[in-house]
Structure 1
Amino acid sequence: MKEKEYDYLVVGAGLFGSVFAHEMTKRSKKCLVIDKRNHLGGNVYCEEKEGINVHKYGAHIFHTNDKRIWDYVNQFASFNNYINSPLSLSKGKLYNLPFNMNTFYQLWGTQTPQEAKAIIDEQVAKYGTKSPKNLEEQALSLVGKDIYETFIKEYTEKQWGKKATELPAFIIKRLPVRYTYNNNYFNDRYQGIPIGGYNTIINGLLKGIETKTNVDFFKEREQLEGLADKIVYTGKIDEFFDYKHGQLEYRSLRFENELHAIENYQGNAVVNYNDSSFAFTRIIEHKHFEFGKQSKTIITKEYPEAWDPSKEAYYPINNDKNQGVYQEYKKESQKLSNVIFGGRLAEYRYYDMHQIIASSLTKVEEILGIEK
């Protein structure tokens, strides 16, 4: 039997595939990485415009509590000290996020944790319920009426394209409330943006590895599958199995970029637009991720959209129906010894960047454990 040209064909050049290929190449395995887009990096890809690294597929802020993952990414890039402190615009007024003492002062004029907690507790008792049946009831039971109506209701309805009363309660498992004056969105110990953008990390991971862009795995499937002993697949799992158990559902996003001939548009990297009168959910001003001093600025308006196969799949709709369909595909995937499924689309779950990297490293370790 003729020996195949590669040990691994990696379908998808995002973080999962890039980390996997890097680790296997270090261990003398030959990898080919392909992607149907015209660039490497998946959704963390940055496009340089006017000297600004534009996060092409939405804001990506690296954060983790895992020192092993932090040390891992720091092999490929130096990180700045960016702290994510988004603002939220509601009914013409700006508030700090996440919900903290600054937010409560802006909302009610409260100055002590006791005052703020008393208002939230009173509203939860008045409007909440012990067994929330939908997202609205869940939110009211967690934070009360004012926070729900000011920050959650209209934003969430735009995000999911449905009324909050029609959305399942599990979408909001918890709503962190801080009784300190702390605008740092994440609690993680390590946080920042790679200096020079995320392409620095991807280029470091894939250095010396053969890559091909503008390659659609499904258009050349037979030929591509014949190239390698094993396939690492990071695309949509239902597409891999030709939708035999039905199509999984997602929410999509549309991004509109604007170049402004001013130094500073909004004074912050991320501003949420809660009101339904704005079709977009937030405006990202990219230069603030890297403390840019350029004379111009680029902003991106982020519009949630209904998904169809012609659009990018961003957020899995994890209701019972879709989870049932996914479990059928997962059973199919477990029957294939020569295909490794990994990443957001192949596992039908939302991952943060540090979780994707950890998942890929774990998969490599599992395989090496089997092969020893």
Structure 2
Amino acid sequence: MLTCILATNLHFVDYFLADLGFIQNFLNIRFISYDQKGNFMELRLKEPVDNLCDYTYGFTWQGNKISPGSVIPSQEGTNFTYKDLVNELRKGKDVLITGNIGKRLAYSMGADLAHFGGSGSPEKAGRIYVDGDVSSEMGMGMVSGVIYVKGNIEEPIGNLVEVKSDEPGYHKFRSITGILCKGLGKDVLAMNKFDEREKHLLLYDGKLRGTVAARCNCDTLVTIKGNACNGTGLLMKKGMVHVLGDAGMNTGAHLDGGVVIVEGMTDEFAGAYMKKGTLVLNDSKGFVGANMKDGVIFAKNKIKIAPPAGELAMSQEDANLLMKYLGLGHVEAMSFRKYGLKKERLIRMRDGSVVVMKSEE
């Protein structure tokens, strides 16, 4: 069983800035190159708080129990609400948080969420600076903006990749989706490899990530050399994500185009609510295609599906697709199983009656 919560550190020593970092910590001075006049929002925490800078305000996890207007607990000397932080980032401004942070920092950061009447597309976002440690699921579904973290970061992380930092003493993270569709610019990956010309991101650093390529709307390829956590390809419209290991729950959930391939075991609810696109699985733990609206799911092994998904007949066109994606021979490609919607077709009989037939499309 794929375990997504694996605590680990991103701590490392920057040899070129070791002396500066020592002086900074000893004197408690912040060497931050952004606006030194105080034109940023600063939040000091006495205890870790979950869902900070969370554009969803927790609705994904807690039925929207967090009110946007609720005052953030454990503040020191301020009275900010959850919405205050999000609004600041949506203006393209910076937020500095001092103290350790709980789970789901910057969830869906940079997304103009349809849940709140938005377009569902990426929008500009500011920067988050954290002087402390961050718990798991940082940057899940994040599509733009930057996160700087001084302390340790617990896995799994979200739709993020580390780039070489331009701020002494901080780790710098950018959205994978942002890099795929807009490029690295002046940034350089701290690890991993991105071919700008081919638009191919190879993730080989061994870090467990969720929601990789969330909301991606450009033709690109992400190869994950290892396992993925929950929500790979979430709301993706274009591109391909190829997971060489296992994948967590909700893989390809709400998929709206593009391709997600998992060569290992996939946890429950793969392809749930998918609208378009292609999901290719080796095996799954069940409830595949739950509440799917459209799209197609291929599986090497017989899998447990959920309504309205049904098994469909494989075609030569389907086999060609799998041969292209996986480099298979014809016989092996035709041995895959195909799942999708059995759509209804109305047939008018000679006597005037109408018969509802199931058609495979």
Q: Return the TM-score normalized by structure 1.
A: 0.21
TM-score, normalised on structure 2?
0.21
Bigger relative contact order, structure 1 or 2 (CA pairs below 8 A, ≥6 apart): 1
- Between structures 1 and 2, the one with greater helix share: 1
Q: Is the strand fraction higher in 1 or 2?
A: 2
